[in-house]
Every structure is written in C-alpha cells, then in structure tokens.
Amino acid sequence: MVHETAMFLGYAVLIITVGLVLYHFRGVLLHAKVSSIAGL
C-alpha cells in the first residue's frame, strides 16, 4: 500500500516536472522566435 502510494507520487512529480520543462522550453522557443523576428 505504501509502495503504491510512493510510486503514484513519484509518477505525479515526474509528470509535473516534465510538464514544467516543456512549458519553459516552449516559452524559450517562443521568445527566441520573437527576438529573431524583431532582429530582422
């Protein structure tokens, strides 16, 4: 029971971390694209 709960929490943290990384990466790409367009 405790092991299953720990596994679930681990998966939740992993999913949240991946989501935040992807969100941050998208923001960086968006900023780079806007900067390059502004640079041109």
- Whether 24 shows a pLDDT value over 90: the answer reads yes
In this prediction, residue 34 carries a pLDDT of: 87
In order of 15, 31, 32, 40, the CA distances from 7 in angstroms are 12, 36, 37, 49
Q: Quote the CA–CA distance of 29 and 17 in Å, as a whole number.
A: 18
Q: What is the pLDDT of residue 40?
A: 65
Higher pLDDT, 13 or 38: 13
Tell me what the mean pLDDT of segment 14-40 comes to: 91
Q: pTM of the entire structure?
A: 0.60
Q: Report the mean per-residue pLDDT for the chain.
A: 92
- Dist. CA 13–CA 17, nearest whole Å: 6
